[in-house]
Structure 1
Amino acid sequence: MIKLKSFILSLVISTSFISPLVHASSTETHEKITPKVIFFDVNETLLNLDNVGKSVSKALGGRDELVPFWFTTMLHYSLVSNETGEYHSFAEIGIASLEMIAKQQNIDLTPEQAKTAVLTPFRDLAPHSDVVEGLKRIRALGYKMITLTNSSDAGIAAQLKNSNLAQYFDGSLTVQNLQTFKPDLKVYQWAEKEMKVAPEDAMLIAAHAWDIAGADKVGWKTAYILRPGKALYPLADKPDLTGKDLIEIAKQLEADAK
């Protein structure tokens, strides 16, 4: 009984020391995020790729399970392009990746069919349901808003026009001008120079962990949209803001602007 009382007493004493520390930690002041320029990724971040997925699946004989494999293959070979210095547009890499997977799976697919399956839906994508409200709210805060994508100049122009999102942005930057794909750090550094903004005054909003990791590495603030099926890369630093959609990100920016 004496030992039990001693244990309880020591637990109470230790808890009395720990409690203030826990309280202090929970009431830490949040660093306000107030960038001068906000860069936006577009595909998946703003625009819904469901139609692309359906088109690619149809081209692959209805094999829905191959669609994520196609997208990661496209990303993989964009990085191969970075390393070899042989640039092809993101659309060209997407078409080539689709042809590769069709051959690997013994699915009959002509180059023209692959081109149609990728290009037709990619140029005419609808925004996610949260995007218009989210963009309006961020726009109201007075930030300069720029798209920064792996698409071509013509590709992003068509996408923004067809989705009716062009009105919310002050400009667009694409890797076509640099011929190097994100998340190569040179892309983010080039973008900040183009916009004449210091790294600490730049922010990226994206739904891709690899994109967030690249922007963070050059000193940008980052906001991650946790779209369904997405997850953060555990070995990278956590983003400054996280939300399930753009509206949640906008609300956090509004709170920081007060």
Structure 2
Amino acid sequence: MRLVTRLLSLLLACLLVGLQPACATPRTAQPVTAPKVIFFDVNETLLDLESMRQSVGAALGGRQELLPLWFSTMLHYSLVETVTGSYHDFGAVGTAALMMVAENNGIALSQEQARAAIVKPLLALPAHPDVREGLRALKEQGYTLVTLTNSSHRAVQTQLENAGLTGFFTRNLSIEDIQVYKPDLRAYRWAAEQMGVKPEDAVLVAAHGWDVAGAKAAGFQAIFVARPGQSLYPLAAAPDQVVKDIQALAEVLGKRP
């Protein structure tokens, strides 16, 4: 029961990201200590989702403004999968979520059309302009870089290859191995175990308030990348640092002892 309650709380955090109650003040962030491993979220943190607007918008009858709703619905139901002890890969959840958004907005969309609008474009996302130089600088500083994603192994490998980022990472970790989606705390603790580090010796870098909330609750340090349209959940622990992009991240961590 406590596990279900915790997961439902995290689900609510995801749904409320960006809402800023007047009485809510994030806890003060602490300075980042030099991590042994830097874990990176992939979609939106490293890869730019803007190129998906055309395919998803076309599938939704030209309603490109529904893309954020689709993404949040996909996240919502990935957590439903975890809470209920079920598992389908992120692509399947994303397809189902797109069909739900279409139905709720009176748009006719088949499963085949939904999958075509998501899977191929998602695998071909470009890196944000700041990513390669930022990752290169972090590697030169001696950091161990690892991806930690809700996408499947096959998907993230293809994404990184197509974006030209494979050479920067020591490992690519997918929750597919444990079939528990972030921000469940088990996902972060499992990742730390895989790399042989304590949670406090790791940092998660993410552009999503829900991911930062999960990492902090699991004992990680966390750095929020303030991509356009993203914000922190004000009732969760504050990240240890906020940066505008990955190049700024490299500058921040390059100054750590």
Mark yes or no: TM-score above 0.5.
Answer: yes
Q: Say yes or no: does 1:132 pair with 2:146.
A: no
| Structure 2 segments unaligned to the other structure (5+ residues) | 1-29
Q: For residue 109 of structure 1, what is the aligned residue in structure 2?
A: 109
Report the AA paired with residue 104 of structure 1.
N
Q: Contact 2:32 / 2:221 at 8 angstroms: preserved in 1?
A: no
Mapped to 2, the partners of 1:32 and 1:155 lie a distance apart of: 31
Report the AA paired with residue 78 of structure 2.
S
Mapped to 2, the partners of 1:79 and 1:122 lie a distance apart of: 20
CA displacement 1:38-64 (0-9 Å, x = unmatched): 100000000001122221111001012
Q: For residue 153 of structure 1, what is the aligned residue in structure 2?
A: 153
Q: For residue 21 of structure 1, what is the aligned residue in structure 2?
A: none
Q: Could you state the TM-score of these two structures normalised by the residue count of structure 2?
A: 0.87
Q: How does 1:53-202 map to 2 (within 5 A)?
A: 53-202=53-202
| Structure 1 segments unaligned to the other structure (5+ residues) | 1-29
Mapped to 2, the partners of 1:219 and 1:141 lie a distance apart of: 24
TM-aligned CA deviation for residue 193 of structure 1: 0.7
Root mean square deviation of aligned Cα: 1.1
TM-aligned CA deviation for residue 109 of structure 1: 1.3
TM-aligned CA deviation for residue 206 of structure 1: 0.5
Mapped to 2, the partners of 1:33 and 1:131 lie a distance apart of: 22
SS in 2 for 1:39: strand
Report the AA paired with residue 245 of structure 2.
D
Mapped to 2, the partners of 1:209 and 1:140 lie a distance apart of: 28
Mapped to 2, the partners of 1:78 and 1:31 lie a distance apart of: 32
Q: Say yes or no: does 1:43 pair with 2:43.
A: yes
CA displacement 1:148-191 (0-9 Å, x = unmatched): 00000100010011111000000110010010100000000111
TM-aligned CA deviation for residue 139 of structure 1: 0.9
TM-aligned CA deviation for residue 238 of structure 1: 1.3
Report the AA paired with residue 163 of structure 1.
A
Q: Say yes or no: does 1:253 pair with 2:253.
A: yes
Residues 102 and 32 of structure 1: is their aligned pair in 2 closer, same or farther, counting only changes over 3 Å?
closer
Q: How many residues align?
A: 228
CA displacement 1:80-131 (0-9 Å, x = unmatched): 0011111011110000011111112221211111110000100111000100
Mapped to 2, the partners of 1:204 and 1:130 lie a distance apart of: 18
Q: Contact 2:205 / 2:223 at 8 angstroms: preserved in 1?
A: yes
Mapped to 2, the partners of 1:181 and 1:148 lie a distance apart of: 11
Q: For residue 240 of structure 1, what is the aligned residue in structure 2?
A: 240
Report the AA paired with residue 39 of structure 2.
F
SS in 2 for 1:86: coil
Mapped to 1, the partners of 2:232 and 2:32 lie a distance apart of: 22
Q: Contact 2:32 / 2:241 at 8 angstroms: preserved in 1?
A: no
SS in 2 for 1:256: coil
Mapped to 1, the partners of 2:76 and 2:125 lie a distance apart of: 23
Q: For residue 52 of structure 2, what is the aligned residue in structure 1?
A: 52
Aligned identity (percent) is: 48
Mapped to 1, the partners of 2:205 and 2:31 lie a distance apart of: 17
Q: Contact 2:31 / 2:241 at 8 angstroms: preserved in 1?
A: no
Mapped to 1, the partners of 2:32 and 2:95 lie a distance apart of: 42
